[in-house]
Amino acid sequence: MSDPAQALRDFKPSKEFFIGIDSDGCIFDSMEIKHKECFTPMFIKHFKLQAVSKYARECWDFVNLYSKTRGANRFPALVRALNLLRERPQVQARHVAVADTRALDEWIVRETKLGNATLAAEVKGGNTGLEQVKVWSDAVNKSVEDIVHGVPPFPLVRESLEKLNQFADAMCISQTPADALKREWSEHGIDGFVKMIAGQEMGTKTEHLKFAAKDKYAPTKILMIGDAPGDFNAAKKNGALFFPITPGSEEKCWERLYGESLDRFFKGTYAGDYEAQLVKEFDASLPELPHWKQGAA
């Protein structure tokens, strides 16, 4: 089986700058609809959480939308949501059996490309502990394909892509499956603004940046645009700069990027105090602990 990430390793710069851009919640206002209408209902259905649906929903949304793990790959996110749910007194009081995550934990540790293709191969190879996870993941994909349409990019995304294309090689860097990414980017006619669309099949966001950009561009000429701490971590692990699309202030962030931050990046005045202030605002917007644990710590 050929390595999908090889395309990133083979990528050659054509401009002086590189900009990686996340998709869900960053380019598209699609995080809420994907999680609330697709992921959460399938989480409740396929892990038999109907009796505690309110708490299951709270846990899923906290992990994936309203906390420091926002934007995480779906499989580690599933582990965290199940573990948070298992600890809740209301769930224990109702004697609801929350699925065990041992098989999933073990797979996450040794699998470098956490995606549907590797999951399918694992189940086909006889790992029965992941059968339910595959049923859920397939159902999520089907639901996303069925429901998530007509969600346009945020205002000023297109204009920002046009602007940054003058000086930078741009790439979509995401943990969403590539099929969904390609469908969404082409639906809105913005796929032509990026050199490549990298999804979960090509590895983590940290790996995407490492293979595509690190050591090919100067560190101060690599920028990651994202709406989740995972995007920030991917940038910093590669010595790159980060521009946050802060959840709840997306329009304001795109205005800032288009009107001010891109110019600073290209002129070399982005790094330092300016970036630090943006990151500080972003960090304050996402809590570490859910509201039901904040008094208990």
Does residue 6 contact residue 198 with C-beta atoms inside 8 Å? no
Over residues 267-281, the mean pLDDT reads: 97
Measured distance CA(23)–CA(173) in Å, rounded:
7
| 30-43: average pLDDT | 96
**pLDDT (0 to 100) of residue 83:** 97
CA distance 255 to 157: 9
Rounded to 5°, angle at Cα 64 from 58 and 66: 70
How many Cβ atoms are within 10 Å of 262's Cβ, its own excluded?
A: 23
What is the arithmetic mean of pLDDT over 252-273? 98
Q: Which residues pair with 17 in a beta bridge?
A: 168
pLDDT at 295 over 80: no
Q: pTM (2 decimals)? A: 0.87
The pLDDT tens digits for 143-190 are: 999 999 999 999 999 999 999 999 999 999 999 889 999 999 999 999
pLDDT of residue 297: 46
Element (H, E) at 63: helix 53-64
Query: Of all residues in the chain, what percent carry a pLDDT higher than 90?
Result: 91
Q: State which amino acid sits at residue 171.
A: M
Length of the chain: 297
Specify the pLDDT at position 36. 97
Helix (H, G, I), strand (E, B) or coil at 43: helix
Task: Give the per-residue pLDDT at 131.
Answer: 97
